[in-house]
Structure 1
Amino acid sequence: MHLHGVFTPVADLAVQRGAAVVVQTERGTELGTALCPATAAAVEQIPDPTEGELLRLATPADQAKAQEHQARRRQDYDDAARLILQHHLPMQLVDVEWLLGEERVIFYFLAEQRVDFRELVKSMARHFRKRIELRQIGVRDEARLLADYGDCGKPVCCNTHMLAMPPVTMPMAKLQKATLDPAKISGRCGRLKCCLRFEYEAYLELAQKLPAVGSTVQTRRGRGRVVEQEILAQRLLVELEDGRHLTLPLAEIDAVLHNPRSGQSARPTPTPPASPLPDDSTEPDDR
């Protein structure tokens, strides 16, 4: 699940960035990757970090054992899926994870509601002869486990740099003028793409600088009504009183006469452009 945490070395180890390490967590002995020193700034970026001990640098034997676990996942997946069918449970198996120390085997599954899998766990424990953990996850977690590349051609964000997956809403797509075709704005998980959230705050800040759609504005070419916003370009499509449609930069809007956001009308207060000071002049002081 790409968990991040703070681990204290049990001995004086020289650990390189990106080194494979063996750590002790609350789940057991696991294989991990060293990212950086656990400075206050780094730990602050991790939501709900796990903690544990850094036991040693991974040895060739550790790497071979991890590869052995990886190789048997397919067969273990098939065996577990067969047991699920035998117990007639409404759950979909997603992935299998062996801990390096083999303290337990974790099976991730999807289900629309809570599932009573107590009898299934007993059957799986007899079959695998290991401690079994069944963990229910959501569709976005499934993408984090299994997805590879997104529509942009890069590895999916949830499987690379994202530590948390906050909700993404349809208003975010609408504000960014994204197509509302679900097939084009949905990610590998079938939910709205996380990238719609990345630029949402910037769009929101820029949109607040523009008169809302439906506003009555006074432009240098006459009075008109805002028909559409071009948020990133900071331009407006304005329908003038004579029926013309013009795309105008924000600088050519002299005043907002009526803003539907506030429902208030205002008298035009055009602001003449400031004239540049002569090269040999100085700015007046504030006294």
Structure 2
Amino acid sequence: MVVLPVRFERSPRLHPMLSEDAHPVGTRVVVQGKRGPEVAVVRGEAQERRPQERYGTVLRAATPDDLALWDDLHRQGEDLKWLLRARARERGLPVKLVAVEFTLDESLVTVSYSADERIELTGLIGEVRAHTRARVNFAAVGPREQAQMIGTLGACGRENCSSHHLQEFAPVSIRMARDQQLPLNPEKLSGPCGRLLCCLQFEHGQYLDLLKDLPRKNARVCHDASGACGKVTKLHPLAGTVDVHTEQGVLTGVPAGELRRAPEEARPAPEKKPRRTEGARKDRTSDAPPS
């Protein structure tokens, strides 16, 4: 038995499957997954089996009959999806139907949907059961899963990472955009799903390494060549330079190696107020006029 990485139609994630034969890359196979038998595509070379790891199973190479049935089930799922969308609009349900998928043996139909609030799906379940005898499973998906299943174009003009190659959704924070000196504009930092761009995490580690050699923003520094001192206003990690605002003007693109930390100006120590003793409190109380 060997392990073959396979990919399903609506996700780029690779799933390891046990197989008796080492099918070549690009072969469409029938696999036994969590939901049941489905058609997938082999996307990697055969690997050795690892102990204590759970695998699905490759049943066989997909036959022409398997592929014809799979295409027919795909068309049925698309027709049923548009029907459910129309029924949801008629009922005024605030729900978005993303995909309807059958297993190859037609024993299970999975309806992927998205909703901002909890909704009653009894009516839609009845609509599905009126058109198929398969067991019905409604699965809620998030915004990123929607973009992964539908497939969109990113700001770079290419297919979005979540539906092309991304294997898992790592957490993305606005701190990553700040470290990369990007403008904090939600329209430019958000992907088609409305969440922060997944690609912000790709180079974040490299930016952190580059920022170690640069002074912090708003730090007071002095330029060795000109002797001018000022405040750091902008960082350029890739170029290794910073912009410094001085009283004489603005120094743009100054290499970090030519800067030194500005000496701190001596500040007078704050005067300490004398502490009032317990006796002083009693004397002040005794001098107060009677109420």
TM range (shorter): 0.7 to 0.9
Shift of 1:128: 2.1
**Structure 1 residues 251-270: aligned runs within 5 Å:** 251-253=257-259, 255-257=260-262
Alignment partners' CA distance in 1, 2:187 and 2:252: 33
CA separation of 1:88 and 1:241: change in aligned 2, threshold 3 A: closer
CA separation of 1:215 and 1:173: change in aligned 2, threshold 3 A: same
Provide structure 2 residue ranges, at least 5 long, that are not aligned to the other structure: 1-9, 265-291
Shift of 1:136: 0.4
CA separation of 1:102 and 1:258: change in aligned 2, threshold 3 A: farther
CA separation of 1:258 and 1:231: change in aligned 2, threshold 3 A: farther
Aligned with residue 155 of structure 1, among 142, 156, 159: 159
Contact 2:14 2:43 in 1 (8 A): no
Runs of 4+ residues deviating >6 angstroms = none
Alignment partners' CA distance in 1, 2:238 and 2:215: 14
SS of 1:135's equivalent?
strand
1:27 equivalent to 2:35? Answer yes
SS of 2:205's equivalent?
helix
Q: Deviations over 1:64-123 (max 9, x none)?
A: 112112223332112222443465543221111122221211111011133343454244
Normalization by structure 2: what TM-score?
Answer: 0.76
Could you say which structure has the larger radius of gyration? 2
Between the two proteins, the alignment pairs up a number of residues equal to 249
SS of 1:127's equivalent?
coil
Q: CA RMSD in A?
A: 2.4
Provide structure 1 residue ranges, at least 5 long, that are not aligned to the other structure: 44-48, 260-287
Alignment partners' CA distance in 1, 2:125 and 2:261: 67
Q: Deviations over 1:137-178 (max 9, x none)?
A: 011111001123222121110001101112322222232232
1:167 equivalent to 2:177? Answer no
Aligned with residue 234 of structure 1, among 232, 236, 240: 240
SS of 2:55's equivalent?
strand
Alignment partners' CA distance in 1, 2:128 and 2:108: 12
Range moving further from structure 2, 66-75 or 235-244: 235-244
Shift of 1:39: 4.6
Alignment partners' CA distance in 1, 2:125 and 2:116: 19
- Could you tell me which residue of structure 2 aligns to residue 192 of structure 1? 196
Question: Percent identity of the aligned residues?
Answer: 30
